[in-house]
């Protein structure tokens, strides 16, 4: 049996080596699969945050909402408290008014100084989840878009 330079063993060895070199030169961090969560829905995002994954990649329109929701970090505690109270009232009234009470977001934005886009993102994701994300994760990468948007989040202080 003639041995060739690229035997099965050498192929596996050199392929692994080339992937390793590629990762080093392109600064691709090694992440174990159980430390990484790729999510596209609010429910998947909530599960990933509750399980405290080290890295979370959010894809789709949800990524835009997550990125927008990071602006709440600049709001004061009083503004966040007022926002919680107002959103609770709006959510309760939305059921009975068929959603017309959502127009109340404009005065809420004026009273709290928080942008309407941020309030809309908070309504879409949920205030509790937004606060959990903004307090525990930092943004590594973000790409805006409609369906091809993504944001990569990293758990703060846990590596």
pLDDT digits (tens, 9 = 90+) for 48-106: 999 999 999 999 888 988 998 888 877 778 887 877 777 777 766 766 776 666 666 67
pLDDT at 23: 52
- Six token digits for residue 136: 């525990």
pLDDT at 13: 58
Q: What is the pLDDT of residues 115-154, one digit of tens each?
A: 777 877 877 788 788 888 888 999 888 988 877 888 899 9
pLDDT band of 2, cuts 50, 70, 90 = low
Residue 4 belongs to some domain of the structure: no
- Residue 28 CA to its chain's centroid (Å): 19
Phi, psi of 58 (to 5 degrees): -105, 130
Residue 27 belongs to some domain of the structure: no
Q: What is the pLDDT of residues 4-43, one digit of tens each?
A: 556 666 655 555 555 555 555 554 444 556 688 999 999 9
Structural domains counted in the chain: 1
The whole-angstrom separation of Cα 17 and Cα 154 is 27
The CA–CA distances, whole Å, from 71 to 25, 76, 81, 118, 153 equal 33, 11, 16, 7, 15
| Stated pTM of the model | 0.62
Residue 1 belongs to some domain of the structure: no
Residue 13 belongs to some domain of the structure: no
pLDDT at 33: 62
- Six token digits for residue 159: 């590596």
pLDDT at 20: 53
The whole-angstrom separation of Cα 75 and Cα 2 is 72
Residue 12 belongs to some domain of the structure: no
The whole-angstrom separation of Cα 35 and Cα 15 is 24
Residue 56 belongs to some domain of the structure: yes
Residue 44 belongs to some domain of the structure: yes
**Measured at the alpha carbon of residue 47, what is the angle toward residues 76 and 114, in degrees to the nearest 5?**
20
Q: Which domain holds residue 88?
A: 33-155
Residue 121 belongs to some domain of the structure: yes
């Amino acid at each position: 049996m003639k041995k060739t330079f690229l035997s099965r063993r050498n192929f596996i060895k050199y392929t692994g080596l080339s992937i390793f070199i590629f990762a080093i030169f392109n600064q691709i961090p090694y992440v174990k699969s159980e430390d990484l969560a790729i999510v596209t829905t609010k429910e998947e995002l909530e599960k990933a945050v509750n399980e405290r994954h080290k890295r979370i990649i959010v894809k789709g329109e949800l990524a835009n909402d997550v990125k927008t929701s990071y602006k709440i970090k600049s709001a004061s505690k009083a503004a966040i408290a007022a926002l919680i109270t107002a959103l609770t009232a709006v959510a309760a009234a939305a059921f009975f008014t068929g959603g017309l009470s959502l127009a109340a977001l404009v005065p809420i934005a004026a009273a709290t100084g928080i942008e309407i886009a941020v309030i809309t993102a908070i309504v879409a994701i949920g205030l509790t989840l937004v606060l959990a994300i903004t307090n525990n994760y930092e943004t590594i990468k973000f790409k805006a878009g409609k369906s091809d948007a993504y944001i990569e989040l990293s758990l703060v202080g846990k590596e």
